Amino acid sequence: MNNTPIVSWYEGTNEFSKKVDYTVNYGTVDASSPSPQKTFFIWNNRGVQEDCPKMEEVTFTTRDRDGGTTVEAVKDNWFRVKVDSLGESGWTEVGKGGGTQNPTGLKDLGTTGTTTNKNAATAQVWSKEKTFTLGAYVKPTTANGFIYKVINAGTTSDQEPAWGKIDGNTFVDAGIEYLTVKIDKTPNAKEILGLANDTKEDGSNAHLAGGNFVQITVYAEVPMTASAGKNSLVQRVSYRYV
């Protein structure tokens, strides 16, 4: 398991070729005009075969490139954001803060998406007096929304166990100990999951890792009082992890 979140950004679509490893340019915008709108997908652990920590208390804002708040676009809260992955239709201003609409200058991020455990499709069906190896995934004879990871290898009993339904709990079936794993997980508010997934480069199955990314749309509302010149700043996502 990786010890830290693995964060990546994609512009416009979820295709891997759209990964943001360049300076995003909003172009030349006239005073008293909006900039083009840009959509970003912000991922944790995209396409990685092992889990990593989830991102918690996730927020978005803008800052100067050195982390300050003196650039005009940051200081005066030009940028607006809406969180598409939460179904938002309204816009929130971000930046230095102190305004009446959003005093903190931060915007909480999140998603209603769900990540499906990649091992669910290949989990073996439980049967009596069968030996399962360490790390194998087992599923009940009747689906119940969970799979079970073997954390102590052994042989099953002659009667199917009463399967646990509390994610993260362990229990014993004769000579085997299992870890209970919920198949479909949706993050809590202000979280992005770090679960392993098999997301394709073209992003066509990204919905199966919907709890691992947020989608936002961003633009700048340039006021009439804006000065002529170039504003260089960063779009920043902050989070904590355990």
Q: What is the pLDDT of residues 191-230, one digit of tens each?
A: 999 999 999 999 999 999 999 999 999 999 999 999 999 9
What pLDDT does residue 175 have?
87
Beta-bridge partners for 83:
216
Asked if pLDDT for residue 8 goes beyond 80, the answer is yes
What pLDDT does residue 101 have?
84
d(CA 197, CA 208): 8
Q: What is the pTM of this model?
A: 0.94
192-225 burial, b if ≥16 CB within 10 A, otherwise e?
Answer: bbbbbbebeeebeebebbbbbbbbbebbbbbeee
Mean pLDDT, the chain, whole residue set? 96
Give the list of residues 6+ apart from residue 209 with CB closer than 8 angstroms, or none: 46, 113, 115, 116, 195, 197, 199
d(CA 80, CA 138): 47
Asked if pLDDT for residue 1 goes beyond 70, the answer is no
When pLDDT is cut at 50, 70 and 90, the band that residue 2 belongs to is confident
Beta-bridge partners for 173:
176
d(CA 177, CA 197): 25
Q: What is the pLDDT of residues 152-187, one digit of tens each?
A: 999 999 999 999 999 999 999 998 999 999 999 999
Q: What is the pLDDT of residues 82-128, one digit of tens each?
A: 999 999 999 999 999 877 789 999 999 999 999 999 999 999 999 99
What type of residue sits at position 18? Answer: K
Q: What is the pLDDT of residues 57-74, one digit of tens each?
A: 999 999 999 999 999 999
Beta-bridge partners for 128:
none
Q: According to DSSP H, which parts of the chain are helical?
A: 72-75
What pLDDT does residue 117 have?
97
Q: Residues 172, 145, 211, 47: what is their CA dihedral angle, to the nearest 10 degrees?
A: 70
Q: Kindly report the backbone phi and psi dihedral angles of residue 56, in degrees, each rounded to the nearest multiple of 5, phi listed first.
A: -120, 155
Beta-bridge partners for 155:
131
Beta-bridge partners for 41:
10, 215
When pLDDT is cut at 50, 70 and 90, the band that residue 43 belongs to is very high
Residue 130, phi-psi category: left (phi > 0), alpha (psi -120 to 50), beta (remainder) = beta
What pLDDT does residue 242 have?
95
